[in-house]
Amino acid sequence: MTQKKTTIKRKLLETGGWHLVKRVGKSVPYVGTAIAIGLVGQSIRRKGLVKGVVNSGLDAIPFVGLAKNAVEFFTGDLIPDKDPNGKQ
């Protein structure tokens, strides 16, 4: 039987990789929040002022936004867009 020889260099790379994965995993909710805040203007244009702000606010909350977007993936928008003709 052949055994893999674990070198110090290999152990350091594996440990460093896990630290990097943990650090990136912790930053994911903040990245999603930053994206949601960046898209507030587009959401307001499509949905109107109040509905756009509510939609973006829900998207900016880390786990609430994830759940909302997962539901919207299967069902469509929970908060509908405004009528392009101006009628509500």
* pTM across the whole model: 0.66
Does any domain span residue 63? yes
Does any domain span residue 52? yes
Domain range for residue 43? Answer: 25-74
The C-alpha torsion from 59 through 63 and 67 to 72, rounded to 10°, is 20
CA angle 84, 85, 88 (to 5 degrees): 85
Say how many CA atoms lie within 13 Å of 32 toward its Cβ.
19
Does any domain span residue 85? no
Does any domain span residue 3? no
Burial class of residue 70 (count of CB atoms within 10 Å of its CB; 0-12, 13-18, 19+) = exposed
Does any domain span residue 11? no
Length of the chain: 88
pLDDT at res. 83:
83
Q: Which two tokens stand for residue 5?
A: 């020889």
pLDDT at res. 2:
52
pLDDT at res. 4:
63
Is residue 30 within 8 Å of 38, Cβ to Cβ? Answer: no
pLDDT, tens only, 57-85:
999 988 898 899 999 999 999 999 888 77
